[in-house]
Structure 1
Amino acid sequence: MQPKIQQTINFIRNYYQTEDFIPLHAPVFNGNEKAYLNECIDSTFVSSVGKFVDEFELKLAEYIGVKKAVVCVNGTNAIHLCLKLVGVEAMDEVITQPLTFIATTNAITYANAIPVFVDVDKDSMGLSPKSMLDFLKRNTEIKNKTCYNKNTGRRIKACLPMHTFGHACRIDEIKQICDDYHIELVEDAAEAMGSKYKGQHLGSFGKLGAISFNGNKIMTTGGGGVIVTNDEALAKQAKHISTQAKTPHTWEYHHDEIGYNYRMPNLNAALGLAQLEQLDQFLESKRQLAKEYKTFFETHNIKTFEERTDEQSNYWLNAVILESLEERNLFLKEMNAAGVMTRPIWQLMTRLTMFQDCPKTSLKNAEYLEERVVNIPSSVK
């Protein structure tokens, strides 16, 4: 084993004070979780109706700084609903990035749309406004305030950037491009709860944003997600279609459009409310860990991924950038063999059979990061 890998293992074990298996990111339940869950069970309102759903939505909207929040079963269906709500239809194109978790592109296909992959920026790992603008200038035309891909004839209806590991992409520049080209902006902020860019919470720049509360996220509801927006009409529609599009009535069953069973249960919301109460503590702990990782890895000439100017990252998953694919693979092999969980960044979506024929730009930055980025243990201590 290389000395620097052994020293990394020793550092992480010392930080977490354990010789046991160290996961990539484990949830922490040190607050009112059990009390709220017991209260929820005692109320018998454990499904999608109950006081914890309402309170969780109100508190989330307040924390994120938006008018409305609509909680869902998971972050993937939150993205799906966002795309539906901004008018994405069958055979539309949606601009996104190839370096992302598959949920991003799966949600596009749930809407029967086609992803268009543009490159990322090396210093954000998120969708590159330069790559996006270059693609649009070369390949699109505007007709009746609608953007069309000249090569495919399809409408480009939306853009879906993802904030990787809680680090902000250049979302303000992306928003300006979307406005100029009449493209709807939806943010995949699945990993970005608590992250801000220029003082504004991620997920709140676009018309709609989606955040995940999966078990491995910075705060969790078990499974779960939320749609956030400043458009109250869209929020009302989101709640409606996420509840099977059932119209209100004391006893009658009437549904006025195709709906989805996407509403978060009261049990999950109870857990989430307790987690939200601790989020600032989680953020402080994770930022301290990122600082300690930076200091340690600098002594071994390994680069850690850091937030940029004007960004306040939640550091959901800390990442190191290694020199080559060979070094990355050795690091992964030795760390995992020692019981310290590490994971590579995702395989590019364009390498997957389902998406390999989709439109794309040059992806040199995404390919560079794919070969070098590794996530290391990032749990709250």
Structure 2
Amino acid sequence: MKEAKETISFIRDYYERSDFIPLHEPKFRGNERKYVVDTIDSTFVSSVGAYVDKFEDMMASITTAKKAVAVVNGTAGIQVALRLAGVESGDEVITQALTFVATANAVKYNGAEPVFLDVDYETMGLSHTALKSFLEEHCEVRNDKCFNKISGKKISACLPMHTFGFPVKIDKIIHICEEWNIPVVEDAAESLGSYYKGKHTGVFGQLGVFSFNGNKIVTSGGGGAIVTNDEFIGKKAKYLTTTAKISHPYEYIHDELGYNFRMPNLNAALACGQLEALTGFIEEKRELATKYESFFDELGIKFRKEPENSTANYWLMCVELQNKKEREEFLKYTNQEGVMTRPIWRLMYKLEMYKDCFRDHQKNAEFLEDRIVNITSSVK
């Protein structure tokens, strides 16, 4: 395939590498090693330590949230955020089918059922028009709560995901949800450093959740963060994720079902070093995005750019091919030649455990599933 061959040549030239090139690998250029060694020397390598506090302060500052809470991973963060938003067993949560499986899994961990609505073509995230249509056709408000008239279940949250770091039209989603008394929790796992209308993702809704997995724009090896501008909810998030333990010098008293979702100080130290490099990483990735756009334009392939009113972190960059057959040929050739590419996720309702969940027409989601390919997006 001519286009795939030229893409491989471009990527190898850019990274100046002839060996296997992964999709997105971490880079450790600053204080990461120093902070990790400092943590080891302190012996505070587990869930208590100065770097956990520093990480939370840094995340609050970067996102402008009033409170940030370190957690063991993004999935755990979403699970707790949904509980804090009021999701209970037997409820429904509106989300998108075009997402990583953790989004839907976090809903199920609360005993709730996901409702899969279509995405915007432009943002690849939850469509506000699909949301509005679903609510008007299928839902009603009773006693200040939103209910699905067909299933009879309460819709207790809306969970949009900022796909690949491209912000959804979150203000429109929140406006609609406010009319229907539905709390919004942002799955911002992929969008650290992304802004919508000048405001950081994750702080539009009641809560937002970020991921620091090994392949994210910055990493703690494994980790996540819950952010909120509601100080009461923030304190509750910290309490629940640290086993719901009442503060006491030596007694072990737990008065609520909590979670051992604490980020170890060792991971937090790594994260602090990475967060210090975030601005530089984003600048480099945006420069690469500009080069990709020019390159793929000459090839006649659509490079997906940040949506209107957005400043994206370009965590994972992607191209849109003409059809599924072309996508498969591109994926096969590039991976065989040692340059990792991957398709967008399989839609959630095509997975066995979610096949019976409600979904709408999914016109845009199915179109994108057949055509989107992620390409090498690492910083050098």
Smaller-chain TM-score bracket: over 0.9
Match of 1:272 in 2: 271
Q: Displacement of 1:94 after TM fit?
A: 0.2
Corresponding residue SS for 1:299: helix
Is 1:252 aligned to residue 251 of structure 2?
yes
Give the counterpart letter for 1:124 in structure 2. T
Aligned to 2:132: 133
Q: CA separation in 2, counterparts of 1:222 and 1:161? A: 25
- For normalisation by structure 2, the TM-score amounts to 0.99
Deviation per residue, 1:54-91 (Å, 9 max, x gap): 01101110111110100100000000000011110001
- Counterpart-to-counterpart distance in 2, 1:212 and 1:59: 15
Q: Helix, strand or coil for the counterpart of 2:220? A: coil
Show the counterpart of 1:94.
93
When normalised by structure 1's length, the TM-score is 0.99
Give the aligned CA root-mean-square deviation in angstroms: 0.5
In the other structure, the counterpart of 1:190 is 189
Looking at structure 2, the residues matched to 4 and 153 of structure 1 have their Cα atoms a distance apart, in angstroms, of 51
Q: What is the distance in 1 between the residues matched to 2:262 and 2:12?
A: 40
Structure 1 counterpart of 2:62, one-letter code: Y
Instruction: Tell me which amino acid in the other structure corresponds to 1:352.
Output: L
Whether 1:51 aligns to 2:83 is: no
Which residue does 1:238 correspond to in 2? Answer: 237
User: Does residue 23 of structure 1 match 2:22?
Assistant: yes
Q: Which residue does 1:71 correspond to in 2?
A: 70
The answer for unaligned runs of 5 or more in structure 1 is none
4+ residue runs over 4 A deviation: none
Report the AA paired with residue 338 of structure 1: E
Residue 14 of structure 2 aligns with an amino acid whose one-letter code is: Y
1:120 alignment partner, SS class: coil
Amino acid at match of 1:265: P
- The equivalent residue for 1:261 is 260
Question: What's the counterpart of residue 347 of structure 1?
Answer: 346
Q: Structure 2 stretches of 5 or more lacking a match?
A: none
Alignment of 1:212-361 (within 5 A): 212-361=211-360
Q: After TM superposition, give the deviation of residue 231 of structure 1 in Å.
A: 0.6
CA distance in 2, matches of 1:309, 1:146: 33
Residue type at the aligned position of 1:147: C
Distance 1:3 1:324 in 2: 16
- How far apart, in 2, do the equivalents of 1:194 and 1:220 lie? 13
Q: Report what 1:4 is aligned to.
A: 3
Counterpart in the other structure of 1:150: 149
1:283 match: secondary structure? helix
Amino acid at match of 2:376: P
- How much has 1:157 moved relative to structure 2? 0.5
SS state of the match for residue 354, structure 1?
A: helix
Cα deviation for residue 3 of structure 1 reads 2.0
Paired residue for 1:165? 164
Matches of 1:251 and 1:9, distance apart in 2: 59
- Quote the sequence identity (%): 56
